[in-house]
Structure 1
Amino acid sequence: MQPRPVTVLGECVADVLAVPGPPPPRPSGQGPSRGAEQGLSLRVLPGGGPANTAVGLARLGTPTRLLARLSGDVFGRLFRGHLLASGVDLSHATAAAEPSTLAVADVDAGGQAAYSFHAEATADWQWTRAELDRADLSGTACVHSGSLALVREPGGSLVEELLTRARRHATVSIDPNVRPALVDPDVYRERLPRWCAVADILRLSEDDLGAVAPGTAAEAACDEFHAAGARLVVVTRGAHGALASLDGRRVSVPGVPTRVVDTVGAGDSFTAGLLHFLGERGLLGGRLDRLEPAEVAAACAYAVRVAALTCAVAGPNPPWAHEVAAGGGGRDSGHSMTSSQN
């Protein structure tokens, strides 16, 4: 079955990763070389949680529209090229005058990334009511949002309003994607009950859960989220797979062994795999009334495979459908830009 369209609302962020080795040589005409110079080589990849999810969905075969505010700067042009090459519909994206958001990833020896953000007054958060009122959600089976788009003002509150409107005719999916370095976790805790009242699907990582419900077991947290309104809650556990709870009925899915390059974008790819699997089976478009635990388990198992393939390459580079079908052999590294910082 051809999935019905999914609309993703949220940010595009330039993920900046350090590349081992010296910075590239100076172009000719920029002065004499002074020998070995201190510096840092950087690789810039198009990212951002919602944008990664949109790319993942489109590559898997779900018709996907991204509602984003795209800057006209060099990073905004990178985003556009990457999204369009992946098959994402940008016909309703907003051209923004503000600069793009940057996230500098510090990846440890195990592939885990910690971020610092350059996000003040950037394009992603400056939504106006008029811009979002123009959003065409007709025919959309699911509206997915989350990450910083839901907590950064002035746009966050307006995004919540749009999700509330969308719920009248579409499944709503939310991924909090907590970023303590940029937003106090108390902001997420205060808003989470409202999100659960709107969301049919809530996906969190273990780190997210630790930030919004410290000291609470995953199963107990799922029950709290159900009581607030979310029907399907999924907690991803990295190499250990995922725990899903559908109205309190639990399923656990193991992880998939993989050679981890880094974990950047893995959770976003999981969400894309989950929504694609459900949409392909005609289970999106309402309140998940026909969804059963066995289908949740199958969807999560598929999503775990998609996330594992993302971990096997550098940066937020979700797999294509044929790579998932083939087990991911021969994955390439996707689009990138390199620069140096002295």
Structure 2
Amino acid sequence: MTGGPGAVLVLGEALVDLVPVAGDGGVRAAQFGGAPANVAVGLATLGTPVSFAGGLGGDGFARTIEERLRAAGVTTTLCARSGLPTALAVAEPGEGGTDYHFHLQDTATFELPDLSARAGAFGAVYVGGLAAVVEPAASAVRATAAAAAEHSLLFVDPNVRRDRTLGADDGAAALRELCRLAQVVKASDEDLERLWPGAGPEETCRSLAAGGRLVILTRGARGSTAYTATAPPVSVAATPVDVVNTIGAGDAFAAGLLSRMGAHGAFTAEPEPAEVRDMLAYAAETAASVCAKAGTEPSAPAGVREGRRAPAL
């Protein structure tokens, strides 16, 4: 049976990242990607029951994506399927993080199912990223998110992307709407600066938290802070690690956070301060496990090598 109070529904994109190969000039390797898909794999790896609902096409990339999801233990029965190709994201890593150029139009990736009737069957529902702003997926995300906010726990990670293929104004409005619907928001300082320009990230977090939300602010090497309506902010340092890769670190943080929330017995937007600190520390170690190696699949936290702190969440 799909779902249950301890299970998570992840709704969004699974696509292919084209990532530069070190030492090979312009050669790029095809890598499993899409923030929601990374979160689904991370949750399964950490032992949390998870169903992924994305759009899977009819090409070899789609078959590879589904094999990767299933191998990790992710349930894929809620995915929509078509004969269209898989979306591509060309990764451009830099000192300040990774930018992307997207090839999204006429792909299966954004033909998402509307699961508003199924949202209440899960303990938590995760949405965010490209699927929240690219139609026709965005309409399905909005409908499912609204149902999750009413019948389950809605976890939103806006994961703002900048690219000429995206409508920045409409996309920002859609992501702000999802954040206001959510019971839990996990966002980077850059996400919040792009969505609420003119306001500091801390100010935005306090404003969102005042509405009864649990808001998690990530700052890469400077760690993370949780805001609630009733308690002082709780901060945890980033886990020290020798950085090999930063792609997928923020997704691993989200997976670690959600997994730990479920492990405390219930998905709730009102955890105790000690639980909040534990969740942030667990999520930081999960993110660090991705930074310490190539690829985007995290390891269950069990201590990481000491070194410089992970720069990207």
SS, match of residue 159 in structure 2: coil
Query: Closer, same or farther in 2 for the Cα pair 1:52/1:43, shift >3 Å?
Result: same
Q: Give the structure 2 partner of residue 14 of structure 1.
A: 16
Match of 1:94 among 77, 80, 92: 80
Match of 2:42 among 41, 56, 60: 56
Q: Distance in 2 between matches of 1:137 and 1:112?
A: 33
Which runs of at least 4 in structure 1 moved beyond 4 Å after TM superposition?
none
C-alpha deviation, 1:325, in angstroms: 2.1
* TM-score of the aligned structures, taking structure 2 as reference length: 0.89
Please tell me whether the aligned partners of residues 41 and 73 of structure 2 are also in contact (alpha carbons under 8 angstroms): yes
Query: Closer, same or farther in 2 for the Cα pair 1:3/1:281, shift >3 Å?
Result: farther
Q: Give the structure 2 partner of residue 239 of structure 1.
A: 221
SS, match of residue 167 in structure 1: helix
1:178-197 equivalent positions in 2, closer than 5 A: 178-181=160-163, 182-197=165-180
SS, match of residue 302 in structure 2: helix
Q: Give the structure 1 partner of residue 155 of structure 2.
A: 173
- Structure 1 residue ranges without an equivalent (≥5): 23-38, 330-342
Please tell me whether the aligned partners of residues 3 and 281 of structure 1 are also in contact (alpha carbons under 8 angstroms): no
Q: Distance in 2 between matches of 1:230 and 1:207?
A: 23
**Alpha-carbon RMSD:** 2.2
Query: Closer, same or farther in 2 for the Cα pair 1:136/1:191, shift >3 Å?
Result: closer
C-alpha deviation, 1:193, in angstroms: 4.3
SS, match of residue 233 in structure 2: strand
Q: Distance in 2 between matches of 1:179 and 1:143?
A: 21
Higher alpha-carbon Rg: 1
Tell me whether 1:327 sits opposite 2:304 in the alignment.
yes
Q: Give the structure 1 partner of residue 63 of structure 2.
A: 77
More off after superposition, 293-302 vs 59-68:
293-302
Please tell me whether the aligned partners of residues 186 and 212 of structure 1 are also in contact (alpha carbons under 8 angstroms): no
Query: Closer, same or farther in 2 for the Cα pair 1:15/1:135, shift >3 Å?
Result: farther
C-alpha deviation, 1:255, in angstroms: 0.9
* TM-score of the aligned structures, taking structure 1 as reference length: 0.82
C-alpha deviation, 1:251, in angstroms: 1.0
Match of 1:288 among 246, 251, 269: 269
C-alpha deviation, 1:56, in angstroms: 0.4
Match of 2:29 among 27, 39, 43: 43
Please tell me whether the aligned partners of residues 114 and 143 of structure 2 are also in contact (alpha carbons under 8 angstroms): no
Amino acid at match of 2:29: R
Between the aligned residues of both structures, percent identity stands at 39
Query: Closer, same or farther in 2 for the Cα pair 1:208/1:79, shift >3 Å?
Result: same
Amino acid at match of 2:136: P
- Structure 2 residue ranges without an equivalent (≥5): 307-313
Higher relative contact order (CA 8 A, sep 6+): 1
Tell me whether 1:117 sits opposite 2:102 in the alignment.
yes
Q: Give the structure 2 partner of residue 303 of structure 1.
A: 283
Give the number of equivalent residue pairs.
301
C-alpha deviation, 1:224, in angstroms: 2.4
Please tell me whether the aligned partners of residues 58 and 82 of structure 2 are also in contact (alpha carbons under 8 angstroms): yes
Deviations 1:214-248 (A, max 9, x none): 34222211122235x46111111111111210126
Q: Distance in 1 between matches of 2:177 and 2:38?
A: 24
